[in-house]
Amino acid sequence: MNKTPLCAVHEKSGARMVDFAGWYMPVQYTSIIEEHNAVRTNSGLFDLFHMGEFWLSGPDAMKNIQKICCQDSEALSDRQIAYTPMCRPDGTIVDDLLIYRWSPEKFLLVVNASNMKKDFDWIKSQLEGNVELVDKSSETGLIAIQGPNAEAILQKLTRQRLKAIKFYWFTSGKVAGIDCIISRTGYTGEDGFELYYPAEHSEKLWNALLEAGKDVGIKPIGLGARDTLRLEARLMLYGNDINDETTPIEANLNWTVKFAKGPFTGSEVMKKQKDQGVTKTLVGFELGKGPAARHGYPIMKDGKKVGEVTSGTMAPTLQKNIGLGYVPPALSAIGSTFDIEIRGKNYPATVIETPFYTRARS
Amino acid sequence: MTTKFTKEHEWAKLEGDTVTVGITDYAAHQLGDVVFVELPAKGSKLQKDKVFGTIESVKTVSDLYSPVTGEVVAVNDNLENNPALVNEEPMGAGWICKVKMANPSEFDQLLSEADYKKICD
């Protein structure tokens, strides 16, 4: 199993470690609910070394990124970030990733740990012209600090003016003396930052952030709370909510699919789906009191299976059972009802607005 | 009053011919935050070593196995509104149900605390 440079630190702090996509990662330090609440109300620190970082560079970098990703990187400014699906010609999703535009000739792509090899091979096979793809995952550390106190804590460790960095923008600069990419992004539904840095400085950066946040009560956060946080914010988990058999249109990621930029991989199929409709669509639902919906549970209507739950949990902030799942479009309107089959019994569910949770913005 | 254990991490506390059943400290810690307990119905018949309910944490779903054969004479209704009791006091206020034993000798076959602890190490 792959280990992060912070593995020993996590073990020493009493974290429970699990195998996640071939990585030995902390799933919780104290309690998933405590950690979840810490991020919503205070601040939390995530070790995300397992994520993949690829650099795409060269005179033809822009042409290639425009072809392989659904987002429009021409429309980005330098130092701006976009969340994008990357699709096959049939519209199915290879992965969802972040594009960091350094310049029209240089991009950082941040991909899911579970898809690293698949993504690298796919992108490599698609490249045309004068462009180079380099995998820097093993030497790039990634720590996220998330929550309403994230900015104040991080500001103690850097001279970069964090207030000036807008959501989904980045800059580069020193944090605790370490060269970082400082990115105002996250996977929690809260404000916060993700820091990319040379992996050998992992312990130094981790400890500096913990120390800087000590007086307000920052907590290290495991993958368990990462999942409940992202689900409340309706952020996609590849392998659950989107996969090799779903398209961005089916997943209701239309906002990431920029048809106006001209043809790109999968655009023809997606355009057709957008114009003529889809056979399944991803909706958010809530369940009454009782058991939680979980990945893979059948969605039933009038005794027939019509879909499947892709993610589900008891939502700690909302204090109710929520989930995502694919259903026929006829069942996708807000207020539509169906049943979730849980251990042989049907439990009524109602389609509700997503994101389930949206932070108050100042 | 004697408390005995199962390898499936339940405990059973003997009072007359009835046992109170719950999950152990170790199991509660392993599960993490409990968010739902599917309780057996009062009056239902449980079979030793058979599933009688489920317990869900944020992350996982686990089956509950009955330590003895018998009839459910009480369930801990407090768990419906406060499943976290299982984490707070797994061996006390977080009990799950009381079972009137059909065959009291089954209790003697359960694990002693010392033998149970060996399983957890």
Yes or no: say if A349 and A343 are a contact pair by the CB < 8 Å rule.
Answer: no
Residue B64: name the closest of B45, B42, B39, B30 by CA. Answer: B39
Cβ contact B33–A292 (<8 Å) = no
pLDDT at A361: 76
CA–CA gap between residue A244 and residue B104 (Å, rounded): 55
pLDDT at A362: 62
Tell me the count of A-B CB pairs closer than 8 A: 37
Indicate the SS3 state at residue A157.
coil
Record the tokens describing residue A186, joined without a space.
């996250």
Record the tokens describing residue B114, joined without a space.
């010392």
CA–CA gap between residue A196 and residue A179 (Å, rounded): 8
Nearest chain A residue (CA) to B55: A291
* Mode of pairing for the β-strands spanning A44-47 and A219-220: parallel
- Burial annotation B67-102 (CB, 10 A radius, 16+ → b, else e): bbbbbbeebbeebeeebbbbbeebeeebbbbbbbbe
- pLDDT (average), residues A36-46: 98
Q: Which CATH architecture has domain A1-233?
A: 2-Layer Sandwich (3.30)
Asked if the C-beta of A288 comes within 8 angstroms of chain B's C-beta atoms, the answer is no
pLDDT at A331: 98
* Mode of pairing for the β-strands spanning A337-342 and A298-301: antiparallel
Query: Left (φ > 0), alpha (ψ -120 to 50) or beta: where does A215 sit?
Result: alpha
Single-letter amino acid code for the residue at A240:
N
pLDDT digits (tens, 9 = 90+) for A281-294: 999 999 999 999 99
- pLDDT (average), residues A81-93: 98
ipTM of the complex: 0.89
Kindly state the DSSP code that residue A130 receives in the 8-state scheme: S
**Closest-CA distance of chain B to residue A321, Å:** 10
Asked if the C-beta of A310 comes within 8 angstroms of chain B's C-beta atoms, the answer is no
Output the average pLDDT for chain A. Answer: 97
pLDDT digits (tens, 9 = 90+) for A147-175: 999 999 999 999 999 999 999 999 999 99
Task: Tell me: pLDDT of B1 over 80.
Answer: no
Nearest chain A residue (CA) to B35: A314
**Portion 60-99 of B in contact with A at CB < 8 A:** 61, 80, 87
Residues of A in contact with B32 (CB under 8 A): 16, 28, 31-32, 224
DSSP A290-336: SSPP-TTPEEEETTEEEEEEEEEEEETTTTEEEEEEEE-GGG-STT-
* Mode of pairing for the β-strands spanning A2-3 and A23-28: parallel
Percent of chain B whose predicted confidence (pLDDT) is above 70 = 99
Question: What residues contact A300, with CB distance under 8 A and at least 6 apart?
Answer: A306, A338, A339, A340, A341, A346
Residues of A in contact with B83 (CB under 8 A): none
Residue A148: name the closest of A233, A32, A37 by CA. Answer: A37
Cβ contact B58–A291 (<8 Å) = no
Domains of chain B: 3-101 (2.40.50.100)
Residues of A in contact with B35 (CB under 8 A): 292, 314
Asked if the C-beta of B33 comes within 8 angstroms of chain A's C-beta atoms, the answer is yes
Q: Quote the radius of gyration of chain B (alpha carbons, Å).
A: 13
**pLDDT bracket for residue A333 (50, 70, 90):** very high
**Closest-CA distance of chain A to residue B32, Å:** 6
Cβ contact B58–A313 (<8 Å) = yes
Single-letter amino acid code for the residue at A6:
L
Residues of B in contact with A37 (CB under 8 A): none
Burial class (CB in 10 A: 0-12, 13-18, 19+), A39: buried
CA–CA gap between residue B8 and residue A244 (Å, rounded): 38
Asked if the C-beta of A137 comes within 8 angstroms of chain B's C-beta atoms, the answer is no
End-to-end CA distance of chain B: 25
End-to-end CA distance of chain A: 43
Name the residue among A27, A31, A290 with its Cβ closest to that of B33: A31
pLDDT at A234: 98
Name the residue among B54, B80, B87 with its Cβ closest to that of A343: B54
Determine the CATH number of domain A254-351.
2.40.30.110
Indicate the SS3 state at residue A208.
helix
pLDDT digits (tens, 9 = 90+) for A192-214: 999 999 999 999 999 999 999 99
Residues of B in contact with A316 (CB under 8 A): 58
Provide the residue ranges of all domains of chain A, joining segments of one domain with +: 1-233, 254-351
Indicate the SS3 state at residue A52.
strand
Task: Tell me: pLDDT of A329 over 70.
Answer: yes
CA–CA gap between residue A333 and residue A132 (Å, rounded): 45
pLDDT digits (tens, 9 = 90+) for B31-87: 999 999 999 999 999 999 999 999 999 999 999 999 999 999 999 999 999 999 999
Record the tokens describing residue A71, joined without a space.
């987002």
Question: Chain-centre distance of CA A292, in angstroms?
Answer: 22
Q: Give yes or no for a cis peptide into A329 (omega within 30° of 0).
A: no
pLDDT digits (tens, 9 = 90+) for A291-312: 999 999 999 999 999 999 999 9
Q: Quote the radius of gyration of chain A (alpha carbons, Å).
A: 20
